[in-house]
Amino acid sequence: MKRNFQSSVLSAVVLAAALSSLSACAPLLVGGAVMTGIVATDRRTAGTQLEDEAIELKVASAVRQDLGDRIHLNVTSFNRKVLLSGEVRTQADKERAEKLAQSQENVLSVVNDLAVALPSSVTQRSKDLVITGQAKAAFIDAKDLQVNAIKVVTERGVVYLMGRVTAREAKRASDIVRGIGGVSKVVRVFDEISEEELKRLSQPTPKK
């Protein structure tokens, strides 16, 4: 039963993301959209989740208007921390994208990991989608991790991990991802919480 669910999750992730990333008319992608249909416990408040969605859209829109097709950009926001990944043509474009992201409302910080390089190929992006799906499936299979507490973004074989996690969870998730074929590097963009805070967050909300 677990394998069937794991396979379904992987298939859903890859299919949904592929439909977005393989379109020639969509050089700018919003990172959080892939997992929309897989909703469960999230350690952010409902308000923060909405803010993150709005941030992703605003940053992508601002960069699209300014840099157009000179950039292949993925925007991922978690707890108002923005990750920029993808490829740009010049260092100036990379710096400009960061300034545009930082200037958007509610953005606390920006992690700019854009590569000054040619846009990644369709083949590479397909491989990245598979890696992301495999990571999510592996987190589901792990008994000591909550899959929806960790957001996964993959670019050119580099896996970025975001979320509010303990030091133990951060190490566990990183070790799992490093064991996936095709992963060249794991980059942690976590907000660390204590085990005590995790216990508090894991308690069911009292019914009114």
Q: What does the pLDDT read at residue 39?
A: 43
Please tell me the distance from the alpha carbon of residue 60 to that of residue 104, in angstroms, as a whole number.
10
Enumerate domains of the chain plus CATH numbers: 2-116 (3.30.1340.30), 122-201 (3.30.1340.30)
Residues 6+ apart with CB under 8 A from 204: none
**Residue 153 pLDDT exceeds 50:** yes
Tokens 């919003």 correspond to: 30
DSSP state of 34: G
**Residue 115 pLDDT exceeds 80:** yes
Contact 159/174 with Cβ under 8 angstroms? no
Q: What does the pLDDT read at residue 41?
A: 74
Q: What does the pLDDT read at residue 20?
A: 41
Question: Is the whole model's pTM more than 0.75, yes or no?
Answer: yes
Here the tokens at position 32 are 């959080």
**Residue 75 pLDDT exceeds 60:** yes
Task: Read off the pLDDT of each residue in 73-77 and give the average, rounded to a whole number.
Answer: 96
SS3 (DSSP) at 153: strand
**Residue 19 pLDDT exceeds 70:** no
Task: Read off the pLDDT of each residue in 31-43 and give the average, rounded to a whole number.
Answer: 52
Task: Read off the pLDDT of each residue in 53-68 and give the average, rounded to a whole number.
Answer: 96
Please tell me the distance from the alpha carbon of residue 146 to that of residue 138, in angstroms, as a whole number.
11
